[in-house]
Amino acid sequence: DTVVLWFRQDLRIHDLPALHAASKDGRQILPIYILDEDAPGDWKIGGASRWWLHHSLTALATDIESLGGKLIFRRGNSLSILRELCEANNAEAIYCSRRYEPWAAKEENTLHESFKNDEITFKRFPGALLHEPGTVMTQGGGPFKVFTPFWRACRKNETPRPIEKTAANWSDCSASDVLDDWELLPRNPDWAAQWSEYWKPGETGARERLHAFLDDTVSRYADERDLPAVDATSRMSAHLHHGEISPRQIWAMCEQKRLELPHSDTAINKFQAELGWREFSYHLLHFFPHIPESPFKENFAQFPWQANETYLQAWQQGQTGYPIVDAGMRELWATGIMHNRVRMVVASFLCKHLLQHWRSGEDWFWDTLVDADLASNGCSWQWVAGSGADAAPYFRIFNPVTQGEKFDKQGEYVRRWVPEISDLPNKYLHKPWEAPDDILEQAGIVLGQQYPAPIVDHREARQAALDAYEHIRLSS
């Protein structure tokens, strides 16, 4: 008997419930990954994620090969490819991990219905989350809209443990595309040429990264996680997004660490709560599938955004004249990631100082982040913009200068990514326009030449943002 194992956003072989179930009774596992460029509609995989996907698939194929199997690559419509594969191999079932993006959930329902008529079992399994949407609800039976009670309720439920071991009988007998032909990697220019220095996509890379974090860093997490110059966070987000590691595995390893490092309780709890934000985002996406595209708080549909291509480009290119914002945007372009604190600052700057729609920022992140994730990205942008569930209030406007001075006190982060102002003393590093002429001269800077003058005045921009907010507050 043969079961098709359809890999999607679960690019691992450990703690994979779909694989575990498929492997029962010694059935042959026929593993496939399908690149369907049409199904996601507007949410086609972004550029940075394509780079990651290429390397993650390479790693998965190598892992499966070392166990005697062969991962099949096919491009096109999932339904027809799966049907053809089942027919050619006499497969009785298709197993996959569940996804939560609205388009993917719809696709699962279509497949389920179609295969019912073919007498092929189509089954989807959990595995990407600690708590499946719908299993943690308010006392009234509705979805939570606020994080803290949601997470409290999750903590009351038991956290599932990872699967210990799966012995699979892999098949290696079907024709496959050549992954390189998919051209997922950038060329001309190869903007990701240095990325292998930062990232090791794949299950082994995910586990190595987690071990390094738990062994060396986690005890500093609670105190230093907001400092972008310091390597104090896990950097697990892209691994989690691609399903190279499961949150259950991470959770279990945290619990083991807790026993070894009793003084790290607070840090581990804090880290686990961040995993909780990921759960919350998926939960919101499941119950409010419009979140990536339209405001959760309906009155924000009337918000007077002021589309401005010049502002948007200055932001994208890290040329706003606000060093912490520019550092973040350049880190993103250079590495495919941006520190969480800085994501909040740059996102707030785009929506509030520049009055650009949060969707234009969401789109840019979608294309440039290696961890671009429909749930976390959509919810986080709405959180910053003030239009989301449990969002930061709109009138709380981050001051990019004080954010820089607070979280990058010594200026290490800004100097790393905005080297043209690195000779400025700390006192002016986050506000070069306030530096006296002789200090600017000593640092070799003429504002507007090596580095831009601020694109907007903070105080004026803040007032304009508050006025815009007043517009929707009064009209709702």
Decide whether 82 or 347 has the Cβ nearer to ligand FAD: 347
Q: Which stretch binds ligand FAD (CB under 6 A): 138-146, 236-244, 255-263, 445-453?
A: 236-244
Outline where 261-308 has alpha helix (H).
265-287
Q: Which stretch binds ligand FAD (CB under 6 A): 35-43, 59-67, 305-313, 363-371?
A: 363-371
Residue with tokens 């997490």: 221
User: What residue type is assigned to position 343 of the chain?
Assistant: R
User: Two tokens at 202?
Assistant: 């794949």
In angstroms, what is the minimal distance from the CB of 428 to ligand FAD? 27
In angstroms, what is the minimal distance from the CB of 377 to ligand FAD? 3
In angstroms, what is the minimal distance from the CB of 76 to ligand FAD? 27
In angstroms, what is the minimal distance from the CB of 113 to ligand FAD? 31
> In whole angstroms, what is the distance from residue 358 CA to residue 349 CA?
10
Decide whether 93 or 232 has the Cβ nearer to ligand FAD: 232
Cis peptide bond upstream of 304, omega within 30:
no
Interface characters, 166-205, with ligand FAD (x: CB under 6 A):
----------------------------------------
Binding residue (CB under 6 A) for ligand FAD from 214, 384, 445, 472: 384
Map residue 84 onto helix, strand or coil: helix
Residue 199 annotated to the active site:
no
Binding residue (CB under 6 A) for ligand FAD from 233, 264, 320, 382: 233
Residue 358 annotated to the active site:
yes
Is the backbone of residue 385 left (phi > 0), alpha (psi -120 to 50) or beta? Answer: alpha
Binding residue (CB under 6 A) for ligand FAD from 343, 359, 415, 430: 343
Residues 210-229 that bind ligand FAD (CB under 6 A): 225
Q: How many CB atoms lie within 10 A of CB 457?
A: 12
Binding residue (CB under 6 A) for ligand FAD from 380, 382, 387, 399: 380
Catalytic residue among 191, 340, 420, 433: 340
Binding residue (CB under 6 A) for ligand FAD from 281, 360, 368, 382: 281
Burial class for 416, CB neighbours closer than 10 Å (0-12, 13-18, 19+): middle
Is the backbone of residue 341 left (phi > 0), alpha (psi -120 to 50) or beta? Answer: alpha
Catalytic residue among 358, 364, 383, 417: 358
User: Two tokens at 250?
Assistant: 């991470």
Q: Which stretch binds ligand FAD (CB under 6 A): 19-27, 231-239, 295-303, 424-432?
A: 231-239
Decide whether 100 or 381 has the Cβ nearer to ligand FAD: 381
Binding residue (CB under 6 A) for ligand FAD from 39, 344, 351, 461: 344
Decide whether 369 or 414 has the Cβ nearer to ligand FAD: 369
Residue 103 annotated to the active site:
no
Instruction: Identify which of 294, 468, 298 has the alpha carbon closest to the alpha carbon of residue 381.
Output: 294
Catalytic residue among 43, 103, 305, 333: 305
Burial 363-399 (b: 16+ CB within 10 A, else e): bbbbebbbbbbbbbbbbbbbbbbbbbbbbbebeebbb
Catalytic residue among 103, 182, 191, 277: 277
By CB under 6 A, tell whether 347 contacts ligand FAD.
Answer: yes
Burial 222-245 (b: 16+ CB within 10 A, else e): beebbbbbbebbbbbbbbbbbbbb
Decide whether 39 or 369 has the Cβ nearer to ligand FAD: 369
Residues 238-277 that bind ligand FAD (CB under 6 A): 240-241, 274-275, 277
Q: Are 404 and 324 in contact (CB under 8 A)?
A: yes
Q: Are 13 and 39 in contact (CB under 8 A)?
A: no
Query: Tell me, what DSSP letter sits at residue 174?
Result: S
User: Two tokens at 387?
Assistant: 């239009």
Binding residue (CB under 6 A) for ligand FAD from 235, 248, 330, 415: 235
> In whole angstroms, what is the distance from residue 32 CA to residue 81 CA?
10
> In whole angstroms, what is the distance from residue 218 CA to residue 24 CA?
37
Residues in the chain: 476
Residue 417 annotated to the active site:
no
Active site residues: 274, 277, 305, 340, 358, 381
Binding residues for ligand FAD (CB under 6 A):
225, 233-237, 240-241, 274-275, 277-278, 281, 340, 343-344, 347, 365, 369, 371-373, 376-377, 380-381, 384
